[in-house]
């Protein structure tokens, strides 16, 4: 009996020694060690862009279809029979945005693992990995800011939960908008210190500067946006004619002044969905309100490139970062800074590359603002001027089918509008321009504040 | 009795050894796809004015496509 107790006591001691399972933080074997192992974390996400797999960092054809057909560029009532399954308005996909939020934070998680644990920066290979990790983190947070926060008005408004390191137990609350912006700005600067030039990492220094321009433009830092935009357009000049058409209609190849492109490799799992997206977009004609913007008709190279005589899409769907966007950022930034002459110069330069026999606009010859236009206030909340209205209309034509319109509406006043299908009215309300944080997070994390308007 | 003691001891040793199995430090990676939905406003029935607007849009498009 005594021996049994002794043995039992020893066994108990052995059992209680096994406390390793209580430790939830990861150590040792789970963390990469070499720069190749760290790089593997990046290439998962970069491959998703290259093969057009998922749209987390850059829209693939499927994502572009969903975000385009719900805007005022398209007409829901005119949908053909094959367009019944297309989203009717942004409300059709708002609940799905919860999954998108989680996917973006998964990119941040992997970037955090690299930034936290990669100690050696001995050579350019290491710098490429660390620089790209910072770039991905900056771009991911910028995407989240654009989609899940309201447009900037004050630094105190709600920003994002900022997760700087990999910790499964961490449940941060939302930082302020000002804190979020400061973090993102810092991340972009850190990415640039590594001066990534190897294109295999996709987010080279110039691509980072392009996103930095987009970021400053979104938060209304016009001076900073204009400096970066000028750098991009000077280094990647606008093209015209056949070069422009080939660049836009290229299904895979990244041509001319395109800095970054989704789906550059075909033959993977995305081929079927890309073909389907290109077919499905033809099931919803474009709105007359949009096509009427092409005043110069066939003299504007974008007229035939964008749609046919039945207002059916012609443009190849592909996520891109290209120079013309920064020409538009430059023009609008100058306009907001009160530099009218420079703004006109910038927008006229774009038009000269697009419209045959173009006559430059002057302050006196700018078109009037259409009273029926959805956008009535600019990004600063002021009544829209003829100059900014003209720039926004050029942007709407230039970046048609590139995932821009919805966010332009968000940036410029979040106008409510409705569309109709089968006798029912679907209204895009102001709050719907800001996507919801996942409901599971709201329920599990005490104090985490949801965006306005979302009920359950 | 001796056999019984041996069996008890053996069982205790086996249990002790099994408890010290090395556990995965990192939990298995899972894709969290379950979400809970938000309630969105139901679409409303068009007013007569809105119906007229939609009808006009369709008429204009029909004229365009049958020209």
**What's the average model confidence in pLDDT over A395-415?**
98
| Nearest chain B Cα distance for residue A138, angstroms | 23
Residues of chain A positioned with their CB less than 8 A from the CB of B32: 102
Average pLDDT, chain A: 93
- Residue A298 falls inside a structural domain: yes
pLDDT tens-digit profile of A303-330?
999 999 999 999 999 999 999 999 999 9
User: How many domains would you assign to chain A?
Assistant: 1
- Give the pLDDT score at A29: 47
Query: How far is it, in rounded angstroms, from Cα A58 to Cα A60?
Result: 6
| Confidence class for position B28, pLDDT limits 50, 70, 90 | very low
Query: What kind and span of H or E run contains B62?
Result: helix B48-66
- Give the pLDDT score at A290: 98
Whether residue A456 and residue B54 make contact (CB cut-off 8 A), yes or no, is no
- Residue A254 falls inside a structural domain: yes
Phi, psi at A239, each rounded to 5° = -115, 170
Question: pLDDT above 70 covers what percent of chain A?
Answer: 93
pLDDT surpasses 90 at A250:
yes
Of A436, A400, A431, A402, which Cα lies nearest the Cα of A414?
A431
A10-14, A19-23, A217-221, A344-348: least confident range: A19-23
- Give the pLDDT score at A270: 86
| Confidence class for position B1, pLDDT limits 50, 70, 90 | low
Whether residue A288 and residue B60 make contact (CB cut-off 8 A), yes or no, is yes
- Residue A24 falls inside a structural domain: no
- Give the pLDDT score at A43: 92
- Residue A374 falls inside a structural domain: yes
Phi, psi at A368, each rounded to 5° = -70, 155
- Residue A170 falls inside a structural domain: yes
Search chain A and give the residue with CA nearest B56: A77
- Residue A25 falls inside a structural domain: no
Number of CB pairs, chain A paired with chain B, less than 8 A apart: 107
Residues of chain A positioned with their CB less than 8 A from the CB of B30: none
Residues spanned by the domain of A49: 32-436
| Confidence class for position A182, pLDDT limits 50, 70, 90 | very high
pLDDT tens-digit profile of A20-71?
444 444 444 467 888 888 999 999 999 999 999 888 999 999 999 999 999 9
- Give the pLDDT score at A34: 82
Strand pairing category for A424-428 and B44-45 = antiparallel
- Give the pLDDT score at A28: 45
CATH code of the domain containing A142: 1.25.40.390
- Residue A11 falls inside a structural domain: no
The pTM for the full model equals 0.88
Whether residue A423 and residue B40 make contact (CB cut-off 8 A), yes or no, is no
Search chain B and give the residue with CA nearest A79: B58
| Confidence class for position A119, pLDDT limits 50, 70, 90 | confident
Query: How far is it, in rounded angstroms, from Cα A441 to Cα A148?
Result: 14
Residues of chain B positioned with their CB less than 8 A from the CB of A285: 61
Q: Which residue of A102, A106, A420 is the best one to mutate when testing the B interface, meaning the one whose CB has the most B CBs within 10 A?
A: A420
Of B48, B53, B44, B35, which Cα lies nearest the Cα of A424?
B44
Greater confidence, A367 or B16? A367
Residues of chain B positioned with their CB less than 8 A from the CB of A11: 12-13, 15-16
| Nearest chain B Cα distance for residue A191, angstroms | 28
- Nearest neighbour of A27 by CB, restricted to B25, B40, B60: B25
ipTM, interface predicted TM-score of the complex = 0.83
pLDDT surpasses 60 at B22:
no
Whether residue A23 and residue B8 make contact (CB cut-off 8 A), yes or no, is no
SS3 assignment for chain A: CHHHHHHHHHHHHHHHCCCHHHCCCCCHHHCCCCHHHHHHHHHHHHHHHHCCCCCCCCCCHHHHHHHHCCCCCECHHHCCHHHCCCCCCHHHHCCCHHHHHHHHHHHHHHHHHHHHHCCCCCCHHHHHHHHHHHHHHHHHHHHHHHHHCCCCCCCCCEEEECCCCCCCCCCCCEEEHHHHHHHHHHHHHHHHHCCCCCHHHCCCHHHHHHHHHHHHHHCCCHHHHHHHHHHHHHHCCCCCHHHHHHHHHCCCCCCCCEEEECCCCCCCCCHHHHHHHHHHHHHCCECHHHHCCCCCHHHEHHHHHHECCCCCECCCCCCEEEHHHHHHHHHHHHHHCCCHHHHHHHHHHHHHHHECCCCCCCCCCCCCCCCCCCCCECCCCCECCHHHHHHHHHHHHHCCCCCCHHHHHHHCCCCCEEEEECCEEEEECHHHHCCCCCHHHHHHCCCCCCCCCCEC
Whether residue B45 and residue A423 make contact (CB cut-off 8 A), yes or no, is yes
Search chain B and give the residue with CA nearest A99: B33
Q: Which residue of B2, B12, B65 is the best one to mutate when testing the A interface, meaning the one whose CB has the most A CBs within 10 A?
A: B12
- Residue A445 falls inside a structural domain: no
pLDDT surpasses 50 at B31:
no
Greater confidence, A92 or A16? A92
Q: Which residue of A95, A101, A453 is the best one to mutate when testing the B interface, meaning the one whose CB has the most B CBs within 10 A?
A: A95
Query: How far is it, in rounded angstroms, from Cα A281 to Cα A62?
Result: 10
- Give the pLDDT score at A78: 97
Question: pLDDT above 90 covers what percent of chain A?
Answer: 85
């Amino acid at each position: 009996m005594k021996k049994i107790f002794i043995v039992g006591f020893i066994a108990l001691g052995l059992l209680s020694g096994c406390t390793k399972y209580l430790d939830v933080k990861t150590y040792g074997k789970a963390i990469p060690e070499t720069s190749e192992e760290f790089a593997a974390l990046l290439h998962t996400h970069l491959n998703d862009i290259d093969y057009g797999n998922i749209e987390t960092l850059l829209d693939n054809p499927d994502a572009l279809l969903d975000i385009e057909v719900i805007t005022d560029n398209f007409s829901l009532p005119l949908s053909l029979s094959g367009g019944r399954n297309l989203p009717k308005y942004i409300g059709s996909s708002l609940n799905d945005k919860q999954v998108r939020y989680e996917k973006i934070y998964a990119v941040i998680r992997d970037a955090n693992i690299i930034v936290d644990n990669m100690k050696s920066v001995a050579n350019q290979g290491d710098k490429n990995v660390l620089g790209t990790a910072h770039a991905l983190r900056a771009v991911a947070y910028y995407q989240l800011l654009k989609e899940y926060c309201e447009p900037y008005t004050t630094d105190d408004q709600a920003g994002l939960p900022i997760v700087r390191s990999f910790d499964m137990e961490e449940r941060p609350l939302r930082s302020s908008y000002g804190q979020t912006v400061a973090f993102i700005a810092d991340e972009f600067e850190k990415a640039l210190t590594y001066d990534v030039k190897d294109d295999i990492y996709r987010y080279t220094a110039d691509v980072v500067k392009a996103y930095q321009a987009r970021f400053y433009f979104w938060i209304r830092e016009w001076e900073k946006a204009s400096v970066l935009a000028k750098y991009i357009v000077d280094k990647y000049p606008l093209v015209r004619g056949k070069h422009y058409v080939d660049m836009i209609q290229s299904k895979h190849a990244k041509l001319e002044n395109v800095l970054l492109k989704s789906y550059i490799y075909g033959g993977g799992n995305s081929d079927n969905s890309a073909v389907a997206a290109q077919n499905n977009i033809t099931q919803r004609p474009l709105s007359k309100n949009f096509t009427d913007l092409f005043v110069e008709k066939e003299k504007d190279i974008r007229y035939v490139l964008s749609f046919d005589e039945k207002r059916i899409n012609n443009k190849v769907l592909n996520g891109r970062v290209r120079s013309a966007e920064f020409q538009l950022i430059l023009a609008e930034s100058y306009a907001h800074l009160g530099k009218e002459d420079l703004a006109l110069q910038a927008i006229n330069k774009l038009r000269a590359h697009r419209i045959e026999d173009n006559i430059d606009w002057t302050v006196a010859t700018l078109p009037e603002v259409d009273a029926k236009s959805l956008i009535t206030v600019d990004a600063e909340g002021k009544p829209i001027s003829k100059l900014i209205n003209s720039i926004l209309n050029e942007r709407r034509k230039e970046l048609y089918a590139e995932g821009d319109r919805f966010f332009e509406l968000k940036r410029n006043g979040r106008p409510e509008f409705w569309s109709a299908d089968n006798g029912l009215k679907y209204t895009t309300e102001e709050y719907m321009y800001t996507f919801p944080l996942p409901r599971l997070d709201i329920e599990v994390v005490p104090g985490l504040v949801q965006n306005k308007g979302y009920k359950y | 009795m001796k056999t019984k003691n041996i069996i008890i001891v053996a069982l205790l040793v086996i249990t002790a050894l099994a408890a010290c199995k090395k556990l995965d430090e990192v939990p298995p990676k899972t894709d969290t796809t379950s979400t809970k939905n938000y309630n969105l406003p139901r679409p409303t029935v068009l007013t007569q004015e809105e119906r007229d607007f939609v009808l006009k849009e369709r008429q204009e498009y029909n004229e365009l496509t049958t020209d």
